[in-house]
Amino acid sequence: MKKEKPYKDIGLLDFQDKFPTEKVCWDYLVKMRWPDGVTCPLCVDSKLDFIQTRKVFECRQCHRQIYATAGTIFHKSRVPLRKWFWAIYLMATSKKGVSMLYLQNQLGLGSYHTAWLIGHKIRQAMIQRDSMYTLGGTVETDEILIGGKQSLEERRLKGDNKTPFLIVVEENSNGGPRFLSFEELETIYEEHVVPAIKKNVRAGSKIKSDGSGVYVKAQKEGYRHERSVGMKEPEKTHEHLKWINIITSNLKRYLLSTHHGVFPKYRKAFLAEFAYRFNRRYWPHQAFDRLLYACIHADPAPLPVLRA
């Protein structure tokens, strides 16, 4: 007998039925942002009036006006909320991610630039949300290089365009992968790797690594260390960092197949998107609500911030 799931996945038609109009989307956003009702941040127990023509709440006492999208990634956006909701849904639920060209075509956006802005604003919300957490227990760690192939001439003219990242995979009680994080590195040397470990891994955790001496230095920062030297025992080291090897392979396939490679300055955002979905893979029924919540509580991300 097939065991029923304890939840109901939201399919495309279900999502369309749930959010059929702009008003429904707006009401849902307001309810998620203020579950106990909209309140004035300055006045206590003050009543608010709603101005329907402008979709703004106004405090009767201080006359402060409160917009539902102010201070969120939707701030001053001219794109309808319904299209934002669809973009969030697609980016949250697609296992392989979606390209911005796909978003532009499917949502009927006026330009690729608009789709690009939406996608990167949502990725900023993912970055800010996952920055609130650290990993612990037993973790696999390694440095990986992300970047496309170059000809010898390109390497001479532009240098190596690969970007180093620290990858950390937290293991569960059964030795499987639980959570994942990436941290962009300036170099793969001790002065940059050790601070990245301290930022992403809780002190007292056990670090599993290859033969790099960098992780030996991490022991001085309060970490336990389990090392496997690849040159001496390559098969053992591969198994020692099993989940890092599998996840790195899936990551590179995702970057090439869905996005056909990414520019160096945006690699951090694409890896954050990959990690965000990976970390929430056990709760697919909550995928949209979780990401919408992150978008509501993320700081606004104007174009200069995205291009920085």
Q: Which of 20, 14, 29, 117 is nearest to 294 (CA)?
A: 29
Q: What is the number of helices (H) and of strands (E) in the chain?
A: 13, 8
Q: Has residue 285 got a pLDDT over 80?
A: yes
Residue 150 banded pLDDT, cuts 50, 70, 90:
very low
Residue 153 banded pLDDT, cuts 50, 70, 90:
very low
Look at residue 1 in the predicted model and tell me its pLDDT.
43
Residues 6+ apart with CB under 8 A from 279: 130, 179, 180
Phi, psi angles (nearest 5°) of residue 162 = -75, 145
Q: Has residue 8 got a pLDDT over 80?
A: no
How far, in Å, are 47, 99, 247 from residue 96 at the CA level?
46, 10, 13
The answer to whether 228 and 236 have CB atoms below 8 angstroms apart is: yes
> Among the listed ranges 3-17, 33-47, 257-271, which one has the minimum average pLDDT value?
3-17
The answer to whether 271 and 146 have CB atoms below 8 angstroms apart is: yes
3-state secondary structure of 170: strand
**pLDDT, tens only, 171-181:** 999 999 999 99
* pTM, two decimal places: 0.89
Q: Has residue 170 got a pLDDT over 50?
A: yes
How far, in Å, are 120, 199, 290 from residue 22 at the CA level?
22, 40, 20
Residue 151 banded pLDDT, cuts 50, 70, 90:
very low
Beta strand pairing call for 138-146 and 206-209: parallel
**pLDDT, tens only, 110-138:** 999 999 999 999 999 999 999 999 999 99
Whole-number Å distance between alpha carbons of 12 and 86: 9
Whole-number Å distance between alpha carbons of 50 and 100: 36
Question: Where do the H-state alpha helices sit in 258-302?
Answer: 267-279, 287-297
